[in-house]
Amino acid sequence: MADGHNHQADIDAYAQMQSPIHQWDTRWKIVGLLGLIAAFAMVQDWRFMPLLILITCLIYAASGMPWHALRHRLIIPGYVVAAIVIFLPFISGQTVLATLGPIIIFQEGIALSLLIAVRLFCIVTLAFVMFGTDTFVRTILALRALRLPDIMADMVLLTYRYLYEIGAFFAQMRLAARLRGFQGSVFSRQNINILASLVGHLFIRSYEKSERVYKAMVLRGYGSGGVRREIFHSGAADYVKTAVALLLAISLILMDQLL
């Protein structure tokens, strides 16, 4: 269970900091940053990439979170995008930029690769700012205040609460299997059967856990009355920040369409 708590602490590690982004009302922060994320995803002109990077870096710097934390969050998405964009310069486009024997490098392919990589960097960074500058629970409550259906909010919160517990239980099962001679690095039919048995047992344990949690919630009145909603307070600064973010988003979309 300790590992699970460590992971939970890692998610909310920077939620208690003080910065202009942390002090932004969670509801309006979600609206403003989601607007920017949508605009970044719609931009198709590679000439705006430096502007996207500048906006993203300024917002992240304003959050006060350390840069090494962002680097850690970008590792897995970076591998995914690298696997995609590494081939684009060789297969996409019509303008030949260079030839290396039978290999042809296209100018449009390079531009498309840079566009995808920059947009991914900006979107992941803004998503990290949105979720990292407030506690996960408060972010879900803000989504509920923005009319996210209650059942979806409850599902996300319960998944967040028990995912680490299930992961810790799976780690205990793997450790017990290793102590009994299981070698996961060895590919064999016996090991596959053991691993399948572990996963099956985990699913059964998860189902039983969900049944107990649901019955306990019903006994405590879940579903029989109104849902208590978190009270959020907005000020002039929150409206200004949201307006600036949405104006930037609209401006980017218009410039991309008109220029």
Mean pLDDT over the full length of the chain: 83
Range picked from 66-75, 120-129, 229-238 for highest mean pLDDT: 120-129
Is 29 exposed, middle or buried (CB count within 10 Å of its CB: 0-12, 13-18, 19+)? buried
Q: Report the DSSP beta bridge partners of residue 103.
A: 100
Predicted TM-score (pTM) of this structure: 0.75
Average pLDDT over residues 95-121: 85
Q: For residue 185, is it within any domain?
A: no
Q: For residue 218, is it within any domain?
A: no
Range picked from 62-71, 99-108, 177-186, 217-226 for highest mean pLDDT: 62-71
CA dist 90 and 110 (Å) reads 9
| Tokens representing residue 46 in the block | 């590679």
Q: Please state the domain count of the chain.
A: 1
Model confidence over 140-152: pLDDT tens digits? 889 888 888 878 8
Given a cut of 70, is residue 256 above it in pLDDT?
Answer: yes
Given a cut of 50, is residue 198 above it in pLDDT?
Answer: yes
- Please give the single-letter amino acid code of residue 173: M
Q: For residue 196, is it within any domain?
A: no
Given a cut of 50, is residue 208 above it in pLDDT?
Answer: yes
| Tokens representing residue 81 in the block | 């995008």
Q: For residue 184, is it within any domain?
A: no
CA dist 80 and 72 (Å) reads 14
Q: Which residues contact 22 (CB under 8 A, 6 or more apart)?
A: 15, 63, 64, 133, 134
Q: For residue 205, is it within any domain?
A: no
Handedness of CA 247, 59, 16, 19 (dihedral sign): negative
Given a cut of 80, is residue 160 above it in pLDDT?
Answer: no
Q: For residue 188, is it within any domain?
A: no
CA dist 182 and 198 (Å) reads 11
Which residue from 254, 252, 259 is spatially nearest to 49, judged by alpha carbons?
252
Strands (E) located in the chain: 96-100, 103-106
Is the distance from CB of 252 to CB of 51 less than 8 angstroms? yes
Handedness of CA 241, 245, 250, 256 (dihedral sign): positive
Q: For residue 155, is it within any domain?
A: no
Q: Which domain holds residue 108?
A: 21-145+231-258
Is the distance from CB of 126 to CB of 6 less than 8 angstroms? no
Average pLDDT over residues 208-230: 71
Reduced to 3 states (helix: H, G, I; strand: E, B; else coil), residue 231 is coil
Q: For residue 248, is it within any domain?
A: yes
The full length of the chain comes to 259
Is the distance from CB of 168 to CB of 1 less than 8 angstroms? yes
